[in-house]
Structure 1
Amino acid sequence: MMCARIMAGAAGVVISVGVALAPPAVAGTGEAPGTVTNQVELAGRFRVDGAATAARLTYWSRGPRGPMQSTGVVYVPPGPAPAGGWPIVAYAHGTTGIADQCAFTLEPRVYYLDSLYPELLRAGYAVVISDYVGLGTPGTHPYLDGPSQARSVIDGVRAARAVAPELSTRWAVLGQSQGAQAALFTAHLGPVDAPELQLRGAAATGPPSNLDLLLPLAGPWIPRLPLEKTPAYVAMLLAGLRASAPELDVDSYLTPIGEDALRVVETECVTEANARLADVPIGAMLARSLNDPALTSAAREMMRIPTDGYTIPLFVGQGVTDMEVPPPLTAKLVAELTASGTDLETHLYPGDHLGAARAALPDAVAFLRRVLDPV
C-alpha cells in the first residue's frame, strides 16, 4: 500500500426488470425528513452475522426539488448499548443504476452482507444503508446529485434513530464510488443540516470528482473512451437531469442513439446497461455540445464536490489502476482539499475501483475508530 488516502466503490449485479417511473411522492403535514412510513424486519439472506436486529425502512427525504421517499436498512449490534448508545456508520453505496429494481438493499450482495457490515458491527457500530431517493420509491433517482444523495444519507440516520432509540447521535459516513461523492457532500452539509446529530467524520473511496469540468467538453466528437462503464454513467446522469430539471430540455442534446441509451438505463441496472452500451461512443449519443451555461450550471450544483468549508475529518482513498474513477481526477480533488486546510487522510492502493475499496477497508475502519470512539 502507498500512503496517500483514497477509497473506491463498485456496483453489485442485480436482476433486470422493467418498471414504470412514478412521479415524486408529495410529503404531507408532519412528514418531516427522516419520518418512517414503513418498517419490515429482514430475514433470510439479508440477515447479517453479528446483527441483533435488521430492518428495512421507508422514510421521507429530500430530492432536488422537494420531498421524496427513500428506503434503507438498519443493522444493530447485539448486547446492551454502550453509554450514549451505539455509534452509527452510515454506508453510502456505489452505482447500481437508476431503475427502481436497482435499489441497493433489494438484492443480496455477498461482499457487504458477509464482510463489510459484519466488520463494522464487530467494531461496535450500528450500520445504516440508504438506497437514495427514487431508487425503489416514486420518482427518478437523480444520479450523482450530491446534495440529494447526502440528504438521503442524513435522513436515513434520522429514520434509523426513530425506530432504534438505542442508537447514538454520534455518527460517521463511509461511501464508495457514487457513495463516496455522497459521503463528501454529507460531510459538508451534515453538521448544519442535522445539528441534532454529531457527524464526526467521512470516509470516501474512489469518489467521482471534477466531472462537471469535463461536461462542457462533451459533444458529437467524443469517441469511445478506454474507461469502464462510461456510456452508462453518462446516460444515467442525463436521465437524472432530464427528470429533475425538465427546463433544460435534455432531449434536445440527444441523437436517436442517445434517446435509446437513456431508455436502457431507465429500465436496466448498471451491469446490464453497461453490457448493452459498452461499445457506444459518447459522441454517438449527443446531437450537439453540452457546453450550455444552463446545463453546466445545473451539473455543477449536482456534482462539484466542495473543496473547503469542512468542519470534520475526511478520509479519501484511490486505486491507482481505477478505470471508472481515473486517479488524476481524485488527485486534483485531494490537492484542493489539502490547499484549503481540510483535516484529510489519504491513501493510494494498487488496485482497480472495487479492489481498492476492499483493500482500503482496514484503513477506513481505523479512521472510523479515530473519529467515533471515545477518547
Structure 2
Amino acid sequence: MSTSISLCTARCGVAFAILSSFAVLACSSDSSSTGPAPGSELLALPCTDALDSVYQGQTPPADWGPEMRGDVTQCAFERTISIEEMAAAFAVSDSFVDPGLSTPVYKYRIQYWTERNEGEPVLTSAALYIPETRRADPSPLVVLGHGSVGIADQCAPSLEDPSGFDKDNLPLVYTYVGDGWVAIMPDNPGLGTPGSTAWLFSVDEGHAILDATRAARKVFNDDALTAKNSLIGLSVGAHAVLSAQAAAAEYGLEGSLDSVVAMSPIWLSAGIWGALISSVGAALVDPTLMSVAMQFFVGHLAVYEGEDSRLDAFLPEKREQARELLEEACWSEITSAEQGPPSIGVNVGADLFLPAYVDEVGNCGLTDTCETELAQTWRARWVVDRPAPDTTIPIVHWTGGMDTFISPGFQKCGLDRLDAQGGVVTACVEPDSDHSGIVTKNADWVRQHLDQVLLGGDAPAPCETLDEYDAALECSLPIIPNSLDPDDP
C-alpha cells in the first residue's frame, strides 16, 4: 500500500546547484520559513537545526556505550526535490537511463554517532530521503553506500556541492527514492564532519552503514518504519555494504538485514594500492589510480596513527602540495591529469612516497613478500579491508559488462574470494552497462527485488549471471595476488 504526505504550504525559491552543469530550485530550511517541514509528521525529532550544524564537531559522550550507536545529534530539513530535478540528474551522462520516477522527495540532513573501534565514537553526516508517496506505510528502509567523491569536506555527498558532488551518486539515490523507497545515505566519518575520512576503510564504512539503520529509526516515529532493511552500494559504496554485511552479526543493526546489493564493488586486495606505488606498478599507474593511492594512505594513516601522521608516507618536500591537492578539491579535479597528481609533479610512486613505502610496502602489495615491520603493518591493515562475508546473509552482486574501471575480470577476483569464503552470492551482469550506469540500467530488477524481500511481492525474473555472460571468465587482476584466504589481503 502507499501513503501520501501533504506538501508543505510555505515554499520558497532559493537556487540550489546539484551539479556544475545545471541549477534547480530548492526549499529553504532557515528559521524564516513558516509552518512545519514536509514529512515532519512522520518524525520523532523536530529536525529544526541549521544545515551547517550537521557538519560541526560534538563532544563524545563521556559514558559512551554500544547502545548509543546511531544516536542523532543534529537533524535539518533541506528541501523538496521534484521529479523534474531528479530526472535531470540522469541526463548528465549517456551512461544513465531514466529509470522512471513516480514521486517528489523530501530531503533531510542528519548527524549521528557511529563507532570505529570499541569505545571510539566518531561522527558522520548523512542525507535522509522521505518520498512524498511511499511504497508502503509503514516503510522499510534502504541504506545507500555512495561512490568515490574525494576526501575533502566539501566533497560530502549530502552537501551536493557543485565542486564536490560526483555525478554517480545522485542517480543512485534518485533511482530508489523517486520510486517511493525511504532511504538514508551516510557520508562516512570525516567526510564533512571533523577529522580525516578513510577511503576504503572497511570498519568505518561498514559501521556507518549499520548505524544508519539505528539513526533513521531514531529520527522517525515508532510506527513509521518496519524492521526490514536493504543495503545498496556502488563502487566503494558497494565495498561499504559488503563490509556492513560482514560485520552485521557481531556489530549489530536496528531491525533485520534482508537484502545486500553490491554494484561494481571494489572488492580487490587493498594491497593493490601498495603495488601501484612500487617501481613495477609505475608502468600501470595513471592520475586516477595515483590519486586513489594517495587518498588510501592518507586516510588510513589518520585512522591508525593519528591526524598529525596522515601525510607521513610522503616525501617531506611534497607533503604540503599533496595536502592541498587532496583536501581542497574533489574527485573530478584530484583524479585528472591537469589538476590531479601530475600537477604537483607526481606521476609514479617514487615521485611522492618515501623510499620505504615504494620498496617495502610496494613490494609487499606486489608479491606478498612482507618481511619488514612497515610492510607487515600495512599487510595487516589490508586484511581488515576485505573481511570474510557472513554466510547467512545473501548478496546480489552486479557487474557492468562494459566496466573499464573494475572490469568483469577484476570483479571475478572478488567473486572468487566471496565464494571461497562461503558467501551466498548471486552474480548478475548488465551487459551494456559501465561502472556507473549500472545504477539505472538494472533498476527494474533491483526494484522488484526490493519489493520481494521488503514488501513480500513477486520475485524478479532471474538475472543474467556472470557465468552465462562469459563462461570462460577468470580472475584477471594484474600484478598482485588474489588470495582466497581471509587471513590474506
TM-score range, shorter chain: 0.7 to 0.9
Does the Cα contact within 8 Å between 1:209 and 1:305 map onto a contact in 2? Answer: no
Q: Does 1:353 align with 2:435?
A: yes
> How far apart in 2 are the matches of 1:69 and 1:99?
16
The 10-residue stretch of structure 1 (255-264 or 158-167) with the greater mean CA deviation from structure 2: 255-264
SS in 2 for 1:212: coil
More relative contact order, 1 or 2 (CA 8 Å, 6+ apart): 1
Question: Equivalences for 1:153-172 in 2 at 5 Å?
Answer: 153-165=209-221, 166-172=224-230
Q: Does 1:295 align with 2:375?
A: no
Q: Aligned letter for 2:325?
A: V
TM-score (norm 1): 0.82
Q: Aligned letter for 2:145?
A: A
> How far apart in 1 are the matches of 2:330 and 2:117?
22
Question: Equivalences for 1:144-223 in 2 at 5 Å?
Answer: 144-165=200-221, 166-194=224-252, 196-221=254-279, 222-223=281-282
Q: Does 1:254 align with 2:321?
A: no
> How far apart in 2 are the matches of 1:333 and 1:153?
21
Does the Cα contact within 8 Å between 1:239 and 1:266 map onto a contact in 2? Answer: no
Q: 1:58 aligns with which of 111, 117, 140?
A: 111
**1:162-217 CA distance string (max 9 Å, x none):** 11121222001000011000010111212442254111111111111223243453
What are structure 1's unaligned runs of at least 5 residues? 1-11, 16-20
What are structure 2's unaligned runs of at least 5 residues? 1-17, 22-54, 87-101, 365-374, 458-489
Question: Equivalences for 1:296-375 in 2 at 5 Å?
Answer: 296-301=379-384, 303-306=385-388, 308-349=389-430, 350-374=432-456
Q: Aligned letter for 1:86?
A: S
Q: Does 1:234 align with 2:293?
A: yes
SS in 1 for 2:151: coil
> How far apart in 2 are the matches of 1:80 and 1:215?
42
> How far apart in 1 are the matches of 2:254 and 2:139?
16
Q: Aligned letter for 1:368?
A: L
Q: Does 1:73 align with 2:127?
A: yes
Query: Structure 1 residues 81, 334: CA separation in 2 closer, same or farther (over 3 Å shift)?
Result: closer
> How far apart in 1 are the matches of 2:438 and 2:267?
17
> How far apart in 1 are the matches of 2:428 and 2:134?
35
The count of residues paired between Structure 1 and Structure 2 equals: 355
Q: Percent identity?
A: 21
Corresponding residue of 2:347:
281
Corresponding residue of 2:195:
139
SS in 2 for 1:180: helix
> How far apart in 2 are the matches of 1:87 and 1:270?
32
Q: Aligned letter for 1:28?
A: A
The 10-residue stretch of structure 1 (260-269 or 249-258) with the greater mean CA deviation from structure 2: 249-258
> How far apart in 2 are the matches of 1:323 and 1:80?
36
Corresponding residue of 2:3:
none
Corresponding residue of 2:476:
none
Structure 1 or 2, whichever has the larger Rg, is: 2
SS in 2 for 1:223: helix
The 10-residue stretch of structure 1 (285-294 or 38-47) with the greater mean CA deviation from structure 2: 38-47
Query: Structure 1 residues 361, 228: CA separation in 2 closer, same or farther (over 3 Å shift)?
Result: farther
Corresponding residue of 1:3:
none
Distance apart, 1:220 and its partner CA: 4.4
Does the Cα contact within 8 Å between 1:91 and 1:129 map onto a contact in 2? Answer: yes
SS in 1 for 2:112: strand
> How far apart in 2 are the matches of 1:75 and 1:251?
36
Distance apart, 1:52 and its partner CA: 5.8
Does the Cα contact within 8 Å between 2:172 and 2:439 map onto a contact in 1? Answer: no
Q: Aligned letter for 1:282?
A: V
TM-score (norm 2): 0.65
SS in 1 for 2:412: helix
> How far apart in 2 are the matches of 1:254 and 1:311?
42
> How far apart in 2 are the matches of 1:249 and 1:294?
15
SS in 1 for 2:390: coil
Let me know the Cα RMSD of the aligned residues: 3.2
Corresponding residue of 2:481:
none
Query: Structure 1 residues 249, 327: CA separation in 2 closer, same or farther (over 3 Å shift)?
Result: farther
> How far apart in 1 are the matches of 2:225 and 2:297?
38
Distance apart, 1:374 and its partner CA: 2.0
> How far apart in 2 are the matches of 1:69 and 1:293?
30
Does the Cα contact within 8 Å between 1:86 and 1:124 map onto a contact in 2? Answer: no
Does the Cα contact within 8 Å between 1:220 and 1:286 map onto a contact in 2? Answer: no
Query: Structure 1 residues 365, 79: CA separation in 2 closer, same or farther (over 3 Å shift)?
Result: closer
Distance apart, 1:312 and its partner CA: 1.4
Q: 1:40 aligns with which of 61, 76, 80?
A: 76
> How far apart in 2 are the matches of 1:170 and 1:188?
18
Q: Aligned letter for 1:311?
A: T
> How far apart in 2 are the matches of 1:317 and 1:228?
26
Distance apart, 1:100 and its partner CA: 0.9
Query: Structure 1 residues 327, 36: CA separation in 2 closer, same or farther (over 3 Å shift)?
Result: same
Does the Cα contact within 8 Å between 1:170 and 1:197 map onto a contact in 2? Answer: yes
Does the Cα contact within 8 Å between 1:225 and 1:281 map onto a contact in 2? Answer: no
SS in 1 for 2:231: strand
> How far apart in 1 are the matches of 2:291 and 2:422?
35
Query: Structure 1 residues 295, 341: CA separation in 2 closer, same or farther (over 3 Å shift)?
Result: closer
> How far apart in 2 are the matches of 1:257 and 1:22?
30
SS in 2 for 1:73: strand
